[in-house]
């Protein structure tokens, strides 16, 4: 079982970013300046949610196709999945890699969308971004102030593609990385599935298939 419920703030804040990207009018060649990516997307979402919350709460399923259709260009789900798999990624077949990326993407999008419905609008603080000397990676730190005035650091990691477009590949909440969180869960599920194989050479492939089925079952349960 994927323990996304252990980190509700992580998934909620990512959902806010995802939905803001959905409603942002962007073209393939348009992107904010690096330091403006997170502030623009989050601030726009807060305004849109104020107008759309009633309709979405009445029919939560409206979120899923919207987020699924628009989030892919902004998040590097292939890299997120590869990183979460760790060394097991090299042992996965091409078919398994495709299935893993698709299932993990669906899980994340639906988890974020559901969390968004149950979380009040946060107060955001945006800190100066830090771009690596080679210009290929960026850290966009933010802070969320909760209703009881607790400050939660949310750091977004982005990398720059050859075309200059920045993509988010990890999010760190209170020092807890999205990738690290799922890497531990994936490892556990792969080992659990591998223990069911009778032949040694079949253990890892069987374990990876077990992980895929687990992700797919989790996604199917969310649609019921």
The set of residues, in sequence order, having a beta carbon less than 8 Å from that of 46 and lying 6+ positions away, is 16, 20, 121, 124
Q: Which two structure tokens, joined as six digits, stand for 147? A: 């209703």
Q: What is the per-residue pLDDT across 144-196, written as a single tens digit (0 to 9) for each?
A: 887 778 888 888 899 999 888 899 899 888 888 889 989 999 999 999 999 99
Distance CA 97, CA 141 (A): 31
Average pLDDT on 114-128 reads: 71
Q: 53 in helix, strand or coil? A: helix
The alpha carbon of 216 is separated from its chain's Cα centroid by a whole number of angstroms, namely 16
The total number of residues shown for the chain amounts to 224
Q: Residue 177 is inside which H or E element, if any?
A: strand 176-177
Q: What band does 23 get if pLDDT is binned at 50, 70 and 90? A: very low
Domain edges within the chain: 4-222
Q: What is the per-residue pLDDT across 67-111, written as a single tens digit (0 to 9) for each?
A: 665 566 678 999 999 999 999 999 999 999 999 999 998 888 777
What's the pLDDT at 57?
Answer: 75
Between the ranges 22-36, 39-53, 55-69, 91-105, where is the mean pLDDT highest?
91-105
Cα distances from 88 to residues 42, 53, 209, in angstroms, run: 34, 40, 12
Task: Enter the DSSP assignment of 4.
Answer: G
Q: 4-222: which CATH number, 1.10.1070.11, 3.40.50.1980, 3.10.450.710, 3.40.190.170? A: 3.10.450.710
- Greater model confidence, 12 or 28: 12
Which residues make beta-bridge pairs with 152?
Answer: 144
Q: Which two structure tokens, joined as six digits, stand for 60? A: 């939560």
């Amino acid at each position: 079982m994927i323990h996304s419920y252990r980190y509700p703030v992580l998934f909620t804040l990512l959902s806010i970013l995802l939905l803001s990207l959905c409603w942002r009018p962007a073209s393939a060649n348009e992107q904010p300046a690096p330091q403006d990516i997170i502030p623009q997307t989050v601030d726009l979402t807060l305004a849109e949610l104020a107008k759309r919350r009633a309709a979405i709460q009445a029919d939560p399923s409206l979120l899923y196709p919207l987020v699924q259709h628009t989030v892919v260009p902004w998040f590097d789900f292939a890299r997120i999945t590869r990183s979460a798999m760790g060394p097991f990624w090299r042992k996965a077949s091409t078919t398994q890699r495709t299935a893993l990326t698709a299932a993990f993407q669906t899980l994340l999008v639906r988890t974020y969308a559901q969390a968004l419905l149950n979380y009040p609008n946060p107060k955001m603080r945006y800190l100066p971004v830090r771009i690596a000397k080679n210009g290929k990676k960026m850290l966009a730190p933010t802070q969320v102030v909760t209703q009881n005035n607790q400050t939660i650091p949310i750091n977004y990691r982005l990398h720059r593609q050859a075309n200059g477009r920045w993509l988010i590949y990890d999010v760190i909440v209170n020092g807890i990385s999205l990738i690290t969180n799922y890497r531990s869960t994936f490892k556990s599920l792969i080992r659990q599935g591998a223990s069911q194989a009778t032949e040694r050479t079949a253990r890892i492939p069987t374990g990876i298939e077990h992980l895929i089925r687990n992700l797919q079952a989790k996604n199917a349960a969310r649609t019921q």
